[in-house]
């Protein structure tokens, strides 16, 4: 797995979640068990997710190979925080299938970025020994 491909996958998932919140806001919040009468916060969430998706796609192409490690660590921490919050909300608030899916998606990204961190560290150590 390469940094660029994984960040682009992350970008696509975040962008699609944002698009879903723009196109079907009431249906999306209903999947989490939330009843809402207006666009309200879902619009803010949608544009934020789309913005992060665009930012991630730029990062995938703009970050040079020697600078990927700190970016990977930052993305690992961001997804770890998102996983922790979504898992806590799933237990305390949502208790829905969509909440489980959301936590699982963040966990998948945590594992992927952790793999990239370990892979990058191992490659760097091997290069230093040579």
pLDDT by position in tens, the chain (length 130): 899 999 999 999 999 999 999 999 989 989 998 887 667 788 899 999 999 999 999 999 999 999 999 999 999 999 999 999 999 999 999 999 999 999 999 999 999 999 999 999 888 888 888 7
Question: What pLDDT does residue 37 have?
Answer: 63
Q: Which residues contact 93 (CB under 8 A, 6 or more apart)?
A: 33, 99
Question: What pLDDT does residue 119 have?
Answer: 95
Question: What pLDDT does residue 107 have?
Answer: 98
Question: What pLDDT does residue 130 have?
Answer: 73
Predicted TM-score (pTM) of the model is 0.93
Question: What pLDDT does residue 34 have?
Answer: 84
Closest CA to 62 of 25, 127, 8, 103: 8
Question: What pLDDT does residue 36 have?
Answer: 72
Closest CA to 37 of 25, 48, 46, 45: 25
The C-alpha atoms of residue 76 and residue 113 are separated, in whole angstroms, by 5
120 neighbors 69 (Cβ within 8 angstroms) = yes
Q: What are the Cα distances from residue 76, in Å, to 27, 60, 101?
A: 30, 14, 18
Alpha carbon 49 to its chain's center: 9
Question: What pLDDT does residue 73 have?
Answer: 98
**Alpha-carbon dihedral angle through residues 66, 51, 48, 85, given to the nearest 10 degrees:** -30
């Amino acid at each position: 797995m390469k940094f660029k491909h994984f960040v682009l996958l992350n970008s696509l998932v975040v962008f699609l979640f944002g698009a879903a919140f723009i196109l079907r806001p009431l249906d999306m919040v209903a999947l989490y068990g939330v009843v809402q009468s207006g666009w309200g916060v879902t619009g803010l969430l949608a544009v934020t997710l789309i913005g992060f998706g665009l930012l991630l796609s730029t990062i995938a192409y703009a970050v040079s190979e020697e600078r990927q490690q700190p970016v990977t660590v930052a993305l690992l921490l961001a997804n770890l925080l998102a996983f922790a919050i979504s898992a806590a909300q799933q237990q305390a608030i949502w208790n829905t299938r969509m909440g489980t899916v959301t936590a699982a998606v963040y966990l998948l990204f945590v594992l992927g970025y952790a793999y990239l961190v370990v892979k990058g560290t191992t490659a760097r150590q091997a290069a230093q020994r040579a």
